[in-house]
Amino acid sequence: MKNWRKHLGLLLPLLVIVGMVLWPTVTGSVSNRESVFTILKAIALASSLNILLGYTGYVSFGHIVFFGFGGYVGLYLVNDLGWSIWTGMLMGGIASAILAFVLGKAILRLRGAYFALATIGINEAMKAFINNFDLFGGPIGMTLNFSVYKAYGGAAQALNMAFFIMAGLAAIALVISHLVRTSKFGLGLQAIREDEDAAEVMGVIAPNAKTWAYVLSALIPGMVGVLFFFKNGNVEPHVAFPLHASIELLVMVMLGGQGTVLGPIMGAFAYQGMRGYFVTSDFFKDIQLSVSGVLLLLIVLFIPAGAIGWLRHRVPALRRVLQ
């Protein structure tokens, strides 16, 4: 491990995850575990969105569609067909990835605001479809049969297990993020972000690269969806496809620093912490989302590179560490 400094960009994010897992384990507090679960979920989702938003430069306002769609598919397999949570999760991820592949072929031709609008449309269209799709319970959704938990040693045990799986998913999301960032594929994506036409002139096959980035950014959210609804015990259309959650993800990525591995972690952490405070505060609890909106506006106006991006810019010495 002589070159361990080279891997700091990955080690640091993974250490943060390990720390987060240890915190509720050591304190033995269930409420801590639930808070950390939410943060880990946010990290996994934000890091995935970052592949599209941060590396490729395509703003998706409807990324939660992959969380919802994958979640529905996975939960159906686990609940109705009796598959294990593992294969259910895998299939949920694959279903979302396939959806992204098909959608990507169609809408990734659009650029800028038009792409962003299309992603909102897709989220709403999917919500409307699921609302009317009887196999997935239509507007009522699906409720997990409690006997499913038995295979995992009962409900309490299953919930505890879900926490560790979520940590695993967050870690995988970060490894993917790091691999993309440091690979030739990722360099192509970053070239597309900076100037798509120039990138193509240099030989980057932008249509393919964008599609694969979209697929990669949909995979983990699909798996997270399955796990989340498995733990929740039920799924309904408005819980699976909340538009505001997509926007919250954008805030997290922008806040921490788009296009960096560490940024979405910091953003997810800070945003969830802030949200936790707001929803329990008498004054802020009703205007929590407006605060997020104002926050997004301030970031875009004053620190478009986000916290990590800003630090990297100001302190070049940190560039090797904060990736």
The reply to whether 300 sits near another protein by the rule CB under 8 A is: no
**Residue (34 or 200) nearer to another protein, CB:** 200
Q: How many angstroms separate the CA atoms of 279 and 208, rounded?
A: 42
Kindly report the number of other CB atoms within 10 A of residue 292's CB atom.
21
**Stretch touching another protein by CB under 8 A, among 87-95, 111-119, 201-209, 218-226:** 201-209
The reply to whether 312 sits near another protein by the rule CB under 8 A is: no
The reply to whether 203 sits near another protein by the rule CB under 8 A is: yes
The reply to whether 184 sits near another protein by the rule CB under 8 A is: yes
The reply to whether 202 sits near another protein by the rule CB under 8 A is: yes
Residue 27's alpha-carbon distances to 4, 32, 111, 161, 270, in angstroms, are 31, 8, 48, 17, 21
Quick one: DSSP state of residue 28?
T
Residue 127's alpha-carbon distances to 98, 123, 137, 248, 275, in angstroms, are 17, 6, 12, 18, 25
State the helix-helix crossing angle for 64-79 and 243-256, rounded to 10 degrees: 120
The reply to whether 201 sits near another protein by the rule CB under 8 A is: yes
Number of residues that bind another protein (CB under 8 A): 20
The reply to whether 15 sits near another protein by the rule CB under 8 A is: no
The reply to whether 314 sits near another protein by the rule CB under 8 A is: no
The reply to whether 187 sits near another protein by the rule CB under 8 A is: yes
Helices (runs of H) and strands (runs of E) counted in the chain: 14, 2
Of residues 205 through 224, those in contact with another protein by CB under 8 A are 205-206
If you search the block for the tokens 């798996």, which residue do you land on? 223
In whole angstroms, the minimum distance from the beta carbon of 112 to another protein comes to 17
The reply to whether 105 sits near another protein by the rule CB under 8 A is: no
Q: Which of 278, 256, 279 is nearest to 267 (CA)?
A: 256
**Residue (87 or 182) nearer to another protein, CB:** 182
The reply to whether 125 sits near another protein by the rule CB under 8 A is: no
- Give me the count of residues in the chain: 323
Of residues 248 through 277, those in contact with another protein by CB under 8 A are 259
The reply to whether 195 sits near another protein by the rule CB under 8 A is: yes
Binder of another protein out of 190, 260, 272, 292 (CB under 8 A): 190
Q: How many angstroms separate the CA atoms of 112 and 33, rounded?
A: 39
Q: How many angstroms separate the CA atoms of 144 and 148, rounded?
A: 7
The reply to whether 197 sits near another protein by the rule CB under 8 A is: yes
Binder of another protein out of 103, 199, 265, 308 (CB under 8 A): 199
- Contacts with another protein, residue ranges (CB under 8 A): 183-184, 187-188, 190-191, 193-195, 197-206, 259
